[in-house]
Structure 1
Amino acid sequence: MHTTLIDAATLSQHLNDPKWVILDCRHDLMNPNAGRDSFAIGHIAGAQFANVDTDLSGAKVGADGKFRGRHPLPGRAALIETLRGWGIDDDTQVVAYDAHGGMFAARLWWLLRWVGHPAVAVLDGGLVAWQAAGQAMVTQTAGRAPGNISEQPSLVATVSVDEVVANLAAQARTVVDARANDRYRGENETIDPVGGHIPGAKNRFFKDNLTAEGRFKDAAQLKAEFAPLFAEPAKAIMQCGSGVTACHNLLALEVAGLPGAALYPGSWSEWVADPGRPVATGSN
């Protein structure tokens, strides 16, 4: 069972394995059609396309009429049906990949763990590593018979916006922001019209988890780099712009042998939807 990362050589040996499902998670925050267009041009043999906006996210407005963020979590039952549609069973090995250092594939990795499925890994280095290894890309697609994956106890933790608000006073947990430093400081109005960060949050840009070649750093290096941010993972909250790239930090923590941090799914986009919530700018 592969539960964090998988390399291109190993994946290439299982392209025809009926117990493996490969999902292409390419996406562009500025162009919603870019992922599917790229998939049509070429993808790993047997892969199916997973849309970050629709398959891996839920309704932006909740039943209470409140905005839940740009990429709120899908309903658990709806996610299970989506996973079954991709042919995933309880014993399926799932592999997710993208072309962006794992920033979107990690979201799928986390969601499967959210519904209790541990056998999911991200292709380390993504399509760049796949092609560098001389592996082929194809254009043809093929469907799969529906799977029978069932919901199991969650393997991950989440916190609500109310819990993050309460933590402002309690300071019992450390919020870690996965956005680029200019967004964290409040200097990128193109992406974040309301810039800045949650007061007290620390910054760990998700790309800092990667080597210059786009692969994840080894466990020892990741552990050393996360160590100054919080005393223990169980007292850490990972967030980002909309709850997607925060999953990259959660994957990196798992690789480092530091499991237990929680995801704040609504993240910055939900936080600033209420002008009554405080905002900090500049460096922490």
Structure 2
Amino acid sequence: MSARATVLITAAELARRLRAGEPLTLLDVRWQLGKSDGRAAYEQGHLPGAVYVSLEDECSDHTVEGRGRHPLPSGTALQESARRWGVRTGVPVVVYDDWNRAGSARAWWVLTAAGIADVRILDGGLAAWTAAGGKLESGAVAPEPGDVTAAHDDLYAGARRTVTADAVLASGRLLDARAPERFRGEVEPVDPVAGHIPGALNIPSAWLLADDGTLLADDELARLVKTVDDGDVAVYCGSGVTAAVTVAGLAAVGVDAALFPGSWSEWTSDPSRPVARGAE
């Protein structure tokens, strides 16, 4: 199986597997900046059998202090949520969203960091499904409880690589996944300080997506990240959500990137940390 196939599933493949009656768990993780609750949109129309997942309440733990705006949940809490979603041992999971792959990439990251196997992102999200003729159903889905087990309780030291605020400056290559104007410090709509971490290179997560919302082809991705060395790259964004899109995109071409979970929101919580502005 290619690296891309371990991270992504196409709408066509998903439809084929569903028609064949293969057991799959579908998770709808709708989330957008400024519109964090996607439940209403989910109930209006979602993939058949898909369960709604709240990025804010189930893929984050806001009781954790000092770790940015979207601290990671514990493996124990994530396990409880995943069982509530119907995630079962040995049954593949497909996560999807309707905005720039942010919600699905976050869910992919936390689930795989907890050691839960065979989790893939629907390439192109909800739009790809409907464009391929996929049907939607309305209302909420209440699945049978799952039995999956999280192998790691501390996702900051789980199955996926992370980097701490103290170590981020020592990263061989640090990528900032935010929009260019936020990176340059011209605007900052969310956090109290504008700018970027010194030494970072700006590759917005949206640049990894084609116009239809699917991940760029492997050769295009390789050209985009040609300065990135495998095993020596870390990614951050505003609070660790859209950076997961970049981590997933790099994983699709075989680059194992680390995530700085607290990202810019954690970095700027300490006024002694340096801030750069302007182009890299």
Query: Quick check: TM above 0.5?
Result: yes
Greater CA drift, 11-20 or 249-258? 11-20
The Cα of 1:204 is off from its aligned counterpart by: 0.7
| 1:134 alignment partner AA | G
Q: Deviations over 1:99-122 (max 9, x none)?
A: 113121111111111011230111
Looking at structure 2, the residues matched to 14 and 142 of structure 1 have their Cα atoms a distance apart, in angstroms, of 20
Aligned twin of 1:31: 35
Matches within 5 A, 1:205-220: 205-220=204-219
Is 1:44 aligned with 2:40?
Answer: no
**1:19, 1:91 within 8 Å by CA — same for their partners in 2?**
no
Q: What is the number of equivalent residue pairs in this alignment? A: 271
Local SS of the residue matching 1:192: coil
Aligned twin of 1:129: 128
Cα 1:172–1:122 shift into 2, 3 Å: closer
Aligned pair partner of 1:54 in 36, 53, 57 = 57
Q: What is the RMSD of the two structures over their aligned residues, measured on CA atoms?
A: 1.7
Aligned twin of 2:84: 85
Looking at structure 1, the residues matched to 171 and 261 of structure 2 have their Cα atoms a distance apart, in angstroms, of 19
**2:58, 2:78 within 8 Å by CA — same for their partners in 1?**
yes
Aligned pair partner of 1:163 in 167, 179, 198 = 167
Is 1:268 aligned with 2:252?
Answer: no
Looking at structure 1, the residues matched to 35 and 143 of structure 2 have their Cα atoms a distance apart, in angstroms, of 28
Local SS of the residue matching 1:122: strand
**1:44, 1:138 within 8 Å by CA — same for their partners in 2?**
yes
Aligned twin of 2:96: 97
**1:114, 1:155 within 8 Å by CA — same for their partners in 2?**
yes
Aligned twin of 1:179: 178
Local SS of the residue matching 1:96: strand
Aligned pair partner of 1:248 in 245, 248, 259 = 245
Looking at structure 2, the residues matched to 54 and 250 of structure 1 have their Cα atoms a distance apart, in angstroms, of 22
Aligned twin of 1:109: 108
The Cα of 1:161 is off from its aligned counterpart by: 1.5
| 2:60 alignment partner AA | S
Aligned pair partner of 1:280 in 272, 276, 280 = 276
Looking at structure 2, the residues matched to 132 and 216 of structure 1 have their Cα atoms a distance apart, in angstroms, of 16
**1:7, 1:123 within 8 Å by CA — same for their partners in 2?**
yes
Moved >6 Å (runs of 4+): none
The Cα of 1:133 is off from its aligned counterpart by: 1.1
Cα 1:61–1:152 shift into 2, 3 Å: closer
Query: Identity percentage over the alignment?
Result: 40
TM-score w.r.t. length of structure 1:
0.90
Local SS of the residue matching 1:113: helix
**1:23, 1:47 within 8 Å by CA — same for their partners in 2?**
yes
Q: Deviations over 1:77-124 (max 9, x none)?
A: 111111111111221211011111312111111111101123011111
Local SS of the residue matching 2:56: coil
Q: Deviations over 1:44-100 (max 9, x none)?
A: 1101111111111012543xxxx2111110011111111111111221211011111
Looking at structure 1, the residues matched to 89 and 199 of structure 2 have their Cα atoms a distance apart, in angstroms, of 40
Looking at structure 2, the residues matched to 123 and 105 of structure 1 have their Cα atoms a distance apart, in angstroms, of 8
| 1:152 alignment partner AA | A
| 2:258 alignment partner AA | A
Looking at structure 2, the residues matched to 31 and 7 of structure 1 have their Cα atoms a distance apart, in angstroms, of 26
Looking at structure 2, the residues matched to 207 and 249 of structure 1 have their Cα atoms a distance apart, in angstroms, of 9
Greater CA drift, 46-55 or 147-156? 147-156
Looking at structure 2, the residues matched to 246 and 234 of structure 1 have their Cα atoms a distance apart, in angstroms, of 16
Any unmatched runs of 5+ in structure 1? Answer: none
Q: Deviations over 1:152-185 (max 9, x none)?
A: 3643111121222xx3xxx452211100000101
Looking at structure 1, the residues matched to 150 and 44 of structure 2 have their Cα atoms a distance apart, in angstroms, of 34
**1:27, 1:52 within 8 Å by CA — same for their partners in 2?**
yes
Looking at structure 2, the residues matched to 61 and 236 of structure 1 have their Cα atoms a distance apart, in angstroms, of 26
Q: Deviations over 1:127-149 (max 9, x none)?
A: 11111111111103332221111
| 2:27 alignment partner AA | L
